[in-house]
Amino acid sequence: FIYFSLLGSASSAPMRKFSCVTLSDKQRNVRNLVSYEKKQVPTDAIMFITAGGIKICVSAKQKWVQTAMKIIDERRAAK
């Protein structure tokens, strides 16, 4: 998995935005994933963030990805 940083300025402080350039095809253990972000540029992807802060880009079309997103959403709602 590889991602790169784009610097943009929404206010006076520069903001970092990460885009998914290449996608991992390896399934991840949902217990290690704490959140996710949807990415459309340059490809339709989901960026999962692990408990250790590692960002992993995967294809949004994979079935396990949809399941993992649902589990993360349920965890957030339970808090």
Does residue 8 lie within any of the structural domains?
no
Query: How many separate domains does the chain show?
Result: 1
CATH assignment of the domain containing 40: 2.40.50.40
- Residues 3, 23: Cα–Cα separation, whole Å: 9
Does residue 43 lie within any of the structural domains?
yes
13-67 pLDDT, tens digit each: 444 566 787 888 889 899 999 999 998 877 789 999 999 999 999 998 899 999 9
Segments forming the whole domain that contains residue 72: 31-78
Would you say 41 and 57 are in contact if contact means Cβ atoms under 8 Å apart?
no
Element (H or E) spanning 73, and its range?
helix 63-78
Q: What is the pTM of this model?
A: 0.72
- Residues 4, 23: Cα–Cα separation, whole Å: 12
Mean pLDDT calculated for residue range 65-70? 95
